[in-house]
Each structure stands twice: as structure tokens, then as C-alpha cells.
């Protein structure tokens, strides 16, 4: 049974390939190939657009009499997908591109225009340098300066990347904690400053060192809509000299003619025990002595009322 794929063919012993005549083929023969559109184009016949990358069954042939530096140029034939009109384009080895030849127009591509402008500028620059050596020297100096700047920027980027690579997780967490701690300290300091400002606004110190509480005007507070703090019974006392009040009370007590200790004993009356045959009650004697003891003058201020009291509490 013969082999199905016929991988090995029989060659007779007297086989000579040189005796086999070569098949004659036309030089301008066309070959069928499968290709994709190398650029987007618009058909001249029907106006349909053929986008880049669309696949076609094309015919390829050599362009006679055209080459670039020994590189053969080829022409391709395709048909419009809508109207079946023939479209031809050929290779362009000089620009590493393709050139639309017949049947369609190539769509505008902005990057191609920029490339063409750059190439024209480069050609003009080379031509100018050939005729002017000083201009060539200046261009080389500028190019070397630009290259040095690029190298410096690259070195800086490498240094920054190296510093970033050395940072570990603990350093990052420590920096975050420091930032949060500074933020909390800033908030606490701001609150302390606000509290001090409120305290200075409420309590003021006079020239003689006495603390004075500022009274808030009801009309002003109502007009401004601010907060009015509660008022105590002693808020009406603006200034109190405690030392002067105590000295005045002591002088008045010493003028009564009785022996006092620290100016306080004159206010206390000790009742003696009544004798067996006496009909006078100790309470009556206490009342008589109480009437005989002069009372110290009351101070004109409200705090002195706290110290100037009688012996009525003893009777009770």
C-alpha cells in the first residue's frame, strides 16, 4: 500500500536535475497575495472609506524601471469593497511607507505632516552647516549643552528613585504618625488660645492688681446676639479692698475698751454661772452684757457684712 502523504518520492539512479528544462514565465507576472490596507483611503468612484487594516486578496507585481538604492519597488492591486473599483498603491522604501497611486485618495494624517516638516528642517540645517563652519560649531555647542542638561535631569531622577527605594514601611508609618501628632498638637494649641482669649475677654485686671469681671450690657448682647454669662449676687461689687475693711473693723473693736484677741473676741460674750441665791438668770446677764458691748460700724461694702455679726446666735 502506498504512502498517503507521499513524503519520500522515488528518484531513479540516472536522475539528473540539469536535464530538466526550466519553465518559462513572464517577467511582469502577477502573484496573488493576501494583505491588509497599509493606510486609510477614500474611493474616488463611490466615496466609500477603506480603513487601515482591512484585508484584501490583492495582486502583486514588480514596477519596471523603479528602485531605490537597489531595493525593488512593488505595486499592489485591490478592489473597493463597495463598488469593486480597482485601487492601486506601491511601496515607498525611501520613507518606509506606501504611496497611493490610482483609484483612491489617502486620508489626511497629522503626524505625517509633522514628520515631513521635521525632515525639511533637518535638511535645511545640514545644508546650512555645510556652507557655514561657524554655524556648525554653534549648533554642536547647543547640542552638547542640551545633552548635558538631559544627563543632569536623568541623574537627578536616578538619585530620587534610589532615595525612594531606601524607604521602608516603618519609615512611612513613622512619618504618618508624626504628621498626625503635629496635627493634634496644633488643634490643642488653637483650643488653648481660644480659651485664653475668652478668659481675657471676661476677666480683666485693674491697675492695683485686683481682678475685675466685666459686665455685659444686655442691650449690646441682645443687639449682637452674643452669649451672656450668668451673673452672681456679688457681680455688682466692682472693687473690694479687703485689707482696708479688716483694719477699719479692728480699730472700731479696739475702741470699745474691752480686751479682744485679734479683734474677734469682742463679738463673743461668755455667760457666767448664776449663784445659788441669785434670782438673775444667766440669760439675762448675757443680754445685759450684749447690750453694753458696742457694735462695730458696718462697712459700706457688701463683704464686710459677712464679718460684722452679733451674738444673737448664742441666744439661739
Q: Are 78 and 101 in contact (CB under 8 A)?
A: no
Helix (H, G, I), strand (E, B) or coil at 212: strand
**What b/e readout covers 241-257, taking b as 16+ CB neighbours within 10 angstroms?**
eeeebeebbbebbeeee
Interior angle at CA 169, CA 163 and CA 171, nearest 5: 65
Residue 126 pairs with which residues in a beta bridge? Answer: none
Sign of CA dihedral 22, 26, 32, 33: positive
Q: Which residues are annotated as a binding site?
A: 43, 46, 80, 83
Closest CA to 76 of 65, 92, 64, 87: 87
Q: Which residues are annotated as a binding site for Zn(2+)?
A: 43, 46, 80, 83
75-116 pLDDT tens trace: 999 999 999 999 999 999 988 899 999 999 999 887 777 777
130-171 pLDDT tens trace: 888 888 888 889 999 999 999 999 999 999 888 777 767 788
pLDDT at 34: 94
pLDDT at 37: 93
pLDDT at 282: 46
Neighbour tally for 61: CB within 10 Å: 16
Mean pLDDT for 165-183 is 85
Q: 259 falls in which pLDDT band (50, 70, 90)?
A: very low
Q: E strands of the chain, at which residues?
A: 31-36, 41-43, 49-50, 55-68, 71-79, 86-92, 97-102, 104-106, 203-205, 211-213
Mean pLDDT for 37-64 is 92
Neighbour tally for 294: CB within 10 Å: 13
Residue 60 pairs with which residues in a beta bridge? Answer: 31, 76
199-228 pLDDT tens trace: 888 876 655 656 555 555 555 444 444 444
Sequence-distant (≥ 6) Cβ neighbours of residue 147 within 8 angstroms: none
Q: Which three cell numbers stand for residue 314?
A: 448664742
Largest separation between any pair of C-alpha atoms in the chain? 183
Closest CA to 58 of 39, 71, 75: 75
* Percentage with pLDDT > 90 across the chain: 33
DSSP state of 308: -
Amino acid at each position: 500500500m502506498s504512502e498517503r502523504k507521499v513524503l519520500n518520492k522515488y528518484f531513479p539512479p540516472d536522475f539528473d536535475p540539469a536535464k530538466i528544462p526550466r519553465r518559462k514565465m513572464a517577467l511582469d507576472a502577477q502573484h496573488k497575495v493576501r494583505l491588509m490596507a497599509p493606510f486609510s483611503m477614500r474611493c474616488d468612484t463611490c466615496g466609500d472609506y477603506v480603513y487601515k487594516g482591512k484585508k484584501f486578496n490583492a495582486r502583486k507585481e514588480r514596477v519596471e524601471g523603479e528602485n531605490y538604492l537597489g531595493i525593488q519597488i512593488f505595486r499592489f492591486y485591490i478592489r473597493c469593497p463597495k463598488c469593486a473599483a480597482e485601487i492601486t498603491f506601491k511601496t515607498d522604501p525611501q520613507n518606509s511607507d506606501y504611496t497611493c497611486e490610482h483609484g483612491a485618495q489617502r486620508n489626511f494624517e497629522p503626524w505625517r505632516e509633522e514628520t515631513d516638516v521635521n525632515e525639511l528642517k533637518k535638511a535645511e540645517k545640514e545644508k546650512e552647516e555645510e556652507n557655514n563652519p561657524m554655524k556648525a560649531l554653534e549648533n554642536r555647542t547647543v547640542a552638547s549643552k542640551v545633552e548635558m542638561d538631559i544627563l543632569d535631569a536623568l541623574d537627578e531622577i536616578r538619585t530620587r528613585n534610589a532615595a525612594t527605594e531606601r524607604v521602608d514601611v516603618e519609615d512611612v508609618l513613622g512619618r504618618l504618625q508624626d504628621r498626625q501628632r503635629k496635627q493634634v498638637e496644633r488643634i490643642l494649641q488653637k483650643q488653648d488660645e481660644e480659651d485664653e482669649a475668652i478668659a481675657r475677654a471676661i476677666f480683666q485686671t485693674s491697675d492695683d492688681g485686683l481682678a475685675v469681671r466685666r459686665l455685659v450690657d444686655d442691650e449690646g448682647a441682645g443687639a449682637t446676639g452674643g452669649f451672656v454669662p450668668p451673673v452672681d449676687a456679688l457681680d455688682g461689687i466692682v472693687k473690694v479692698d479687703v485689707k482696708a475693711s479688716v483694719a477699719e473693723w479692728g480699730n472700731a473693736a479696739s475702741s470699745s475698751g474691752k480686751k479682744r484677741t485679734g479683734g474677734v473676741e469682742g463679738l463673743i460674750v461668755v455667760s457666767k454661772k448664776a449663784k445659788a441665791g441669785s434670782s438673775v438668770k444667766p440669760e439675762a446677764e448675757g443680754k445685759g452684757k450684749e447690750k453694753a458691748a458696742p457694735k462695730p460700724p458696718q462697712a459700706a461694702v457688701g463683704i464686710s457684712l459677712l464679718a460684722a455679726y452679733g451674738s444673737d446666735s448664742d441666744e439661739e
